[in-house]
Amino acid sequence: MIPLNTLVAVSLLFLPIAADPIETRATFSVMIDSPNTTAGSGDIRIQNLGGTVGNNYLTFATLTAGAFPTDWFFGIGINANELAAEMLQPPPFSGILVTGNSGGESLWQGTNTAWSAWMVYVVSLEFTPSWTFVQASAPVSYTIP
């Protein structure tokens, strides 16, 4: 049996980790907003837009500002532990893009007053159904109301 930390390390070897303009395309994007903008609501909505229907996505988020928007992982300063943990989670961190107005989309919404005033830094990656990297969104930041 291969330890999980070894699998994660091996998996990371195959992910492009630079914010190379050739790998970042304008068509696939991640959008963050809050349907309820009342201060203290802790309301957040994360959408991936403009992907290909049926493709996989991984969305990564961190509270670490780092060198945003030019940090090591497609513009965000996520650490290896966060990266590994989020890679194994269900939506909003991973899923399949479904049919939407802008092509392949995903949508997740949550509310937790503990999240209020957090600044999050997010990037999404699109992969084919066989997990071949397609493109990365531009990194975004958002303060949760």
Q: Where are the chain's structural domains?
A: 28-143
Is residue 35 within 8 A of residue 109, CB to CB? The reply is: yes
Instruction: Quick: pLDDT tens for 76-129.
Output: 999 999 999 999 899 889 999 998 777 888 999 888 898 888 999 999 999 999
pLDDT of residue 7: 35
Whether pTM > 0.85 for this model: the answer is no
Amino acid at 35: P
Instruction: Quick: pLDDT tens for 65-75.
Output: 999 999 999 99
All residues at 6 or more sequence positions from 23 whose CB lies less than 8 Å from its CB, including other chains: 16, 133, 135, 136
For 7-14, what is the mean pLDDT?
Answer: 38
Core vs surface per residue 22-34: b (16+ CB within 10 A) or e = eebeeebbbbbeb
| Other Cβ atoms within 10 Å of 69 Cβ, number | 16
Give the class (CATH, top level) of 28-143: mainly beta
Work out the mean pLDDT of the chain and round it to a whole number. Answer: 82
CA–CA gap between residue 24 and residue 6 (Å, rounded)? 28
